[in-house]
Amino acid sequence: MKSHRLPIVFITVLSLSAHIVSGGKVLVFPIDGSHWVNMNILIEALHAKGHTVDVIRSAGSWYIKESSPHYTSITREQGGGFDEDFLRALTTDLLRIQADGESSWKRLKVEMELMEKGVEMTQMEVDMLTAMLDDHQFMQFLKEAKYDLVLADPVSPIGPILAHYLSLPLVFNVRWTAHSEGHFAIAPSPLSYVPMPLFELTDKMSFLERVANVFFFAFYEFQAQFLIQPRFAALTNKYFGPDVNYFQLIQGADIWLMRVDFVFEFPRPTMPNVVYMGGFQCKPAKPVPQYLEDFVQSSGEHGVIIMSLGTLVSELPKRIVEEMAAAFAQLPQKVIMRYTGEKPSTLGNNTLLVEWLPQNDLLGHPKTRVFVAHGGTNGVQEAIYHGVPILGVPLMFDQPDNLSRMRAKGAAKVVDIFSVDRDGFLHALKEVLHELSFRENMQRLSRLHRDQPMKPLDRALFWIEFVMRHKGAAHLRTESYKMPWYSYHSVDVVMFLLAVTAMFVTASVFGIKFLCSRICKSKQE
Amino acid sequence: MKSHRLPIVFITVLSLSAHIVSGGKVLVFPIDGSHWVNMNILIEALHAKGHTVDVIRSAGSWYIKESSPHYTSITREQGGGFDEDFLRALTTDLLRIQADGESSWKRLKVEMELMEKGVEMTQMEVDMLTAMLDDHQFMQFLKEAKYDLVLADPVSPIGPILAHYLSLPLVFNVRWTAHSEGHFAIAPSPLSYVPMPLFELTDKMSFLERVANVFFFAFYEFQAQFLIQPRFAALTNKYFGPDVNYFQLIQGADIWLMRVDFVFEFPRPTMPNVVYMGGFQCKPAKPVPQYLEDFVQSSGEHGVIIMSLGTLVSELPKRIVEEMAAAFAQLPQKVIMRYTGEKPSTLGNNTLLVEWLPQNDLLGHPKTRVFVAHGGTNGVQEAIYHGVPILGVPLMFDQPDNLSRMRAKGAAKVVDIFSVDRDGFLHALKEVLHELSFRENMQRLSRLHRDQPMKPLDRALFWIEFVMRHKGAAHLRTESYKMPWYSYHSVDVVMFLLAVTAMFVTASVFGIKFLCSRICKSKQE
C-alpha cells in the first residue's frame, strides 16, 4: 500500500494545489452488504487522493475484505457490525415477513415484527459498543492513531459514538440513519409534503395519505423515544454524562453525504451541511465481456432486458422465479437474469442465467430496454444515470419506497413480486417496453441528473477534505438539536404568550367588574 | 454590442462545451441603487457567456444607465421601479426616522412609520404594474421577444408578476423579498433558532429573544396578509384569476440565487432550489491608484482604516461626521474616508476625504487594518473575502442585522452612530484595531468563505443556464406553497385525529355506561 501513495500525492498536488490536504487519516465505520459497496467507492477515491484509510470490520464480515490496496483493516471479533450469517438470516426473515404481508392487518403485524427486530439489533449494537469502549487497549490505539475524521454509515451507532469519544469530526455517508430517514433527523420536515420513508408516499398526498403520514411519524417517534433511546441512555450516560444523548450525537455530524439527489428524491427542506451525492458511483459504461456482447447483439432490434435483485438477496422463493422466467420466455427480447439459485424449469431460450453481471456496463449498453430491479438505491441511481426505465419488483427495506419515487415520476412500473403471476408480470413488462413515456421520463431524469456543476463524487471528496482542513464544519451545522423539544417547537413561548394574554384578559375583566361595582355603588349612594 | 458576441461564444464553447446554451435571451427586472450593482455583475457575466440581456428601467433611473455594452435597455416613463428622486427622499426619511428611534416606544413608532411607507410603496408598485399590463403594445413586444427566462430582484413584485404573465421561468437574484426575508418565504424556519431579519437576533436566542422573534414574525405576517396581499389581490385576480395569489408567484420562482452564504448567515433550513452566491462580486485586489498607494504607504506600520457608507447615503447629519472625524484625528493610523458632504471642521491630517474609493482593492491591501462600514451586504461580504475586521455604523434597512451577524461571529464591533460621541467612537476603533480576536475571527471566516468547490459567480451562472436548458427547475422546487395553510401545517389532520379520538372516547364512555346500566339492571332483576 505504501508504495502506491507517493506518486498519487504528487499528481493531486499538481491538479488541486489550492485544496490539498496532505495525507489525511480517516477512520471508517462501515455497514456490510450493499452499503459497503458505496463506502468502498469513497475509500478508493480518498486513497487515490493520498489519504490513509483505516476500516473497522468484524471477523465474520461478508463484503468487507481484510486486505485491500486502498485501506488497512482493523478486525475485531465482534465489533465492526453484523456479520455475514446474521445478515443472511435477517434478509431471509424479512423476505418471509414480506411475503406474508398483504392486508392492512398483516402489514401492521409486519411493522411490529420489524420493530421487534430493530430493538433486538439495537441491543446487540449497544453490547458491541460497550465491549469496544471498555477495551482500553483498543481505544488507546485509536486515540494514538490521531485520525483527522471519522467517516461512518449512520445505520450503525458505532461511528457517531466513537467519533464523540475520540473528539473527532464526523462525516456521514448516508442513505438512512439507524432509526429514521436522515433528513428527518436534521431538517424541519413538514408532514404535509415530506413523506415518511418506507410507505410509498409522495410529496403530493391526499388527505388520508397525510393522516397516514402523521400516524407513521408518530409511530417512529414512539419507537425512537421509548424503545431505542432508553437502550442507548445507559451507554451515553456512562461514557459521556447525562447531557449527551444518542440522537444528538447523530444530529451533530459535521457533514451528511446523502446518497440521493433531487432527481431521485422529492423536493424538500434540507440543511446547509447536507451534501447530495446521489449517483456518485455511476460512471460511463465500459464494453461488456465478449460472450455478453454476443448475446446482447443477438437480440437484434428487440434489445435486451436486464434483471438483477441486488447484493443481499441471492435466492427467491422458487414459485416466484418460475413465474418470472415463464414471462420472460414469451418475449422477443433477450434477457440477462442474475440469479444464483436452482435453474427455473420455465427458463426460455432467450434468457441467460448468470451469477454476476456488469450492471453499470449493461445498463449503459445502447440495446438495453428495461431494467427489472428490486429497487435498491444504487441500482435505481444507475438506471437514472443511463436513462433505462425500470420494472420494479421490490423486496424489503427502502426498496418499495425507492421504486415508488420512480413510479411517481413516470419512469417505472412496480409489481408485487409476491402475488404476481406470469401473465401479470408479462403484461407489466410489455407496458414498460412499449409505452414510450417510461423511457422518455427516465431519459429526462437522466439529463437532469447529469447536468450538475460538479461530479457528485468530487463534491463528496471536496467536503470530506473540507472537514479535514477546518477540523469540522460548524458554520454549516445548526445546534438547535441541543434545545429541549418544547423550546425547539416554541411551545414555551406560545404558553408564555397565552399566559400573558390570559392574565391581561383576566385583569381587564376584574378591572371592568370593579369599576362597574364602584359606579353602581356610587349611583346607589 | 453584436460585434462583441461572436468571439466570446467561441471561447465559451471551447471551455464549457458540455454546458453551453447558445445565445439565451434574458429579461431583467432590477432594483435601483446597490441592488443594481449586484445585478449588473450577473448581467456582465451573462453577456460574456454569449447571452442577450434586456433590462427594464425607469426614465428617471439613478444607477441603471440607458446604454451599456452588456445589455439593451427598455426604458419606461414609470415602470422599471422607483426613480432616483424617490430613492433619495426615502433614504433621507429613513435616516431621520432612524436617528429618532432609541427607546422601545420610539422603536415601535419607527416600525409603524416603516410599515406605512411599505404600504405606500406597494400601492405605487401595483399602479406601475397595472399600467404595464394594460399597455398591450408593450406586453406584445415582450411576448414576441421570446425570452428564455426572467431574472429579477424580488424586492420588486414586477419581475415575478411579469414572468407569470409571460409564462417564463423565473430566477431571483435575492437578498430580501418584498415583504419578508427570502428564506422565510420558502423554507420552513423554526422561530426558535431562525431569527427574523432586521432585529439583530442570532441563532442562539434567550427566552425573551425567542418571544420577541415570535412577536416580530406575527407582526410581519399580519402586515403581509392584511396590508400587502389585499393590495395585490385585485391585480392578480384581474389578470390571473382567483387561484393565483401574489405570494405564490414569489414562492414559485425556479431558482433563488441568494446573495449570502453560511459564513455570513447563521446555519438554517434551506431548499434545493436555493443557490448561495454570497460574495459573488468579490475578487482579488488590484493595485490602487498611485496617490492612494502613496497615502497608504505613508501609514507605516500603523496601517490604514477605510471608511465607506455605501451607495444610497452620501451625506450624514453634520454632528455625526464631526465626531467621527475628531476620533479618526486622534489615531496614529491613516484614514481614507468616503464622504461627499461638507468637509468636517475636526478633520485630522491623517484623514483623506474622497468622493469615491476602490473599496475592493483597498480592502485587499495588506496595510488595511479596519473597515468602518454601514453594513450593506456587499461591503460585509467584501470584508469577509479580504479578512478585514469591521467597525459597524449601521444606518437603515438590513444593515444593523448584517453587522449583528459579524458581531456574533466575533469579527465586528458595532456602535450606534446616532448616539456615539468622539470618545466612544475612538474607544471602539481602538478595540477593533488592537484586540487580535476581531482580525483572527474575520480571517477564519475569510478562509471558510474562500474554500468552496466552485466560485459563487460560476455557480450562479450555472444555475441560470440550467434553467434555460431545462426550461425551469421544477424538480428542485416544492409546490407545497399551493396548499392551504391548514393543510400545509397539518392542522386539518390533527383536527381529524382529535375528532376521531374524541369519538372513540365518547363511544367508549357511553358503551361502558350502557353496559353498567345493563349489569345493574340485571342485578336488580
pLDDT value for A405: 96
* Residue A125 contacts residue A445 (beta carbons within 8 Å): no
Average pLDDT, integer, range A499-506: 94
Cα angle for residues A515, A516, A521 (degrees, 5° grid): 100
Residues of A with CB below 8 A from B493's CB? Answer: 191-192, 207, 210-211, 214
Q: Which residues pair with B307 in a beta bridge?
A: B337, B372
Residues of A with CB below 8 A from B191's CB? Answer: 490, 493
CATH number of the structural domain A21-280+455-478:
3.40.50.2000
Q: In Å, how far is A241's CA from the nearest CA of chain B?
A: 23
Residues of B with CB below 8 A from A216's CB? Answer: none
Cα angle for residues A188, A191, A192 (degrees, 5° grid): 120
pLDDT value for B19: 45
SS3 at position B525: coil
* Residue A330 contacts residue A432 (beta carbons within 8 Å): no
Note whether A269 contacts B267, CB cutoff 8 Å: no
Nearest to B219 by CA among B180, B254, B172: B180
pLDDT value for B249: 92
Nearest to B110 by CA among B93, B130, B86, B133: B93
Q: In Å, how far is B488's CA from the nearest CA of chain A?
A: 5
pLDDT, one tens digit per residue, over B163-191 is 999 999 999 999 988 777 788 888 999 99
Residues of A with CB below 8 A from B193's CB? Answer: 478, 480, 483, 488
Note whether A188 contacts B454, CB cutoff 8 Å: no
* Residue B54 contacts residue B145 (beta carbons within 8 Å): yes
pLDDT value for B78: 67
Query: What is the bridge-based pairing of β-strands B25-29 and B149-152?
Result: parallel
pLDDT value for B63: 86
Continuous segment of H or E residues that includes residue A368: strand A368-373
SS3 at position B66: coil
Question: Which stretch of A1-10, A139-148, B42-51, B461-470 has the lowest confidence by average pLDDT?
Answer: A1-10
B249 phi and psi angles, rounded to 5 deg: -65, -35
Query: With bands split at pLDDT 50, 70 and 90, how would you rate the model's confidence at B107?
Result: low
Continuous segment of H or E residues that includes residue B74: strand B72-76
Q: Indicate if the alpha-carbon torsion angle A402, A405, A410, A413 is positive or negative.
A: positive
Which residues, in sequence order, are CB contacts of B73 under 8 Å at separation 6+? B54, B55, B56, B57, B64, B65, B66, B67
Query: With bands split at pLDDT 50, 70 and 90, how would you rate the model's confidence at A55?
Result: very high
- Cell numbers at A328, concatenated: 420472460
Residues in chain B, total = 525
Continuous segment of H or E residues that includes residue B335: strand B334-338
pLDDT, one tens digit per residue, over A179-210 is 777 888 889 999 999 999 888 999 999 999 99
Query: Does B336 have pLDDT greater than 80?
Result: yes
Average pLDDT, integer, range A503-519: 91
Note whether A493 contacts B207, CB cutoff 8 Å: yes
Average pLDDT, integer, range B320-343: 93
Q: In Å, how far is A269's CA from the nearest CA of chain B?
A: 5
B418-439 in b/e form (b: 16+ CB < 10 A) is: bebebeebbebbeebbeeeebb
pLDDT, one tens digit per residue, over B285-319 is 999 999 999 999 999 999 999 999 876 566 677 88
pLDDT value for A113: 76
pLDDT, one tens digit per residue, over B384-399 is 999 999 999 998 878 9
pLDDT, one tens digit per residue, over B150-169 is 999 998 888 999 999 999 99
Look-up of cell digits 404535509: A192
pLDDT value for B82: 63
Average pLDDT, integer, range B86-106: 67
The CA distance from A311 to A376, in Å, is 9
Q: In Å, how far is B41's CA from the nearest CA of chain A?
A: 20
Look-up of cell digits 420610539: B106
Radius of gyration of chain B (CA): 27
Of A188, A214, A466, the CB nearest to B269: A188
Chain centroid, CA B400 distance in Å: 13
pLDDT value for A422: 94
SS3 at position B337: strand
Q: Greatest CA separation found in chain A? A: 115
pLDDT value for B12: 31
Of B207, B475, B496, the CB nearest to A448: B475
The pLDDT > 90 percentage for chain A reads: 65
Arithmetic mean of pLDDT over chain B: 88
- Cell numbers at B111, concatenated: 416600525
The CA distance from A167 to A165, in Å, is 6
The CA distance from B454 to B443, in Å, is 20
Average pLDDT, integer, range A284-303: 96
The CA distance from A321 to A341, in Å, is 9
Amino acid identity, position A24 = G
Residues of A with CB below 8 A from B185's CB? Answer: none
**Which residue would you say has higher pLDDT here, A88 or A314?**
A88
Query: Does B4 have pLDDT greater than 50?
Result: no
pLDDT value for A303: 97
Note whether B483 contacts A193, CB cutoff 8 Å: yes
* Residue B68 contacts residue B197 (beta carbons within 8 Å): no
Note whether A191 contacts B490, CB cutoff 8 Å: yes
pLDDT value for A138: 94
Q: In Å, how far is B502's CA from the nearest CA of chain A?
A: 16
Q: In Å, how far is B101's CA from the nearest CA of chain A?
A: 26
Residues of A with CB below 8 A from B204's CB? Answer: 479
pLDDT value for B106: 66
Identical fold, A21-280+455-478 and A290-450: yes
CATH superfamily of B290-450: Glycogen Phosphorylase B; (3.40.50.2000)
The CA distance from A414 to A375, in Å, is 10
Note whether A497 contacts B214, CB cutoff 8 Å: yes
DSSP per position, A224-279: IIIIIHHHHHHHHHHHH-TT--HHHHHHT-SEEEES--TTTSPP--B-TTEEE-TT
Query: Does A87 have pLDDT greater than 80?
Result: no
Cα dist from B524 to A75, B513, B518, B520, whole Å? 76, 16, 10, 6
Q: In Å, how far is B399's CA from the nearest CA of chain A?
A: 21
ipTM: 0.90
For chain B, domain boundaries: 2-9+21-280+455-482, 290-450
Query: What is the bridge-based pairing of β-strands A304-308 and A274-276?
Result: unpaired
pTM: 0.90
SS3 at position A57: strand
Cα angle for residues B450, B455, B458 (degrees, 5° grid): 165
pLDDT, one tens digit per residue, over A361-415 is 999 999 999 999 999 999 999 999 999 999 999 988 789 999 999 999 999 999 9
The pLDDT > 70 percentage for chain B reads: 89
Q: Which residues pair with A176 in a beta bridge?
A: A181
Q: Which of A337-351, B16-30, B321-335 has the highest average model confidence (pLDDT)?
A: B321-335
Note whether A214 contacts B493, CB cutoff 8 Å: yes
Average pLDDT, integer, range B9-30: 59
How many CB contacts within 8 angstroms connect chain A with chain B?
A: 145
Of A192, A215, A488, the CB nearest to B190: A488
Arithmetic mean of pLDDT over chain A: 88
Average pLDDT, integer, range B240-256: 92
Which chain B residue has its CA at the smallest distance from A456's CA?
Answer: B453
A420 phi and psi angles, rounded to 5 deg: -75, 145
Average pLDDT, integer, range B405-410: 97
Query: What is the bridge-based pairing of β-strands A368-373 and A304-308?
Result: parallel
Note whether A453 contacts B476, CB cutoff 8 Å: no
Residues of B with CB below 8 A from A215's CB? Answer: 497
* Residue B148 contacts residue B169 (beta carbons within 8 Å): yes
Packed helices B456-470 and B34-48: angle between N→C axes, nearest 10 degrees: 70
Note whether B480 contacts A193, CB cutoff 8 Å: yes
Query: With bands split at pLDDT 50, 70 and 90, how would you rate the model's confidence at B83?
Result: low
The pLDDT > 90 percentage for chain B reads: 65
The CA distance from A270 to B350, in Å, is 50
Note whether A447 contacts B453, CB cutoff 8 Å: no
SS3 at position B304: strand
pLDDT value for A304: 97
Which chain A residue has its CA at the smallest distance from B470's CA?
Answer: A448
Q: Look up the CATH architecture of domain B2-9+21-280+455-482.
A: 3-Layer(aba) Sandwich (3.40)
The CA distance from A180 to A178, in Å, is 6
The CA distance from A281 to A142, in Å, is 30
Note whether A488 contacts B262, CB cutoff 8 Å: no
Note whether A480 contacts B190, CB cutoff 8 Å: yes
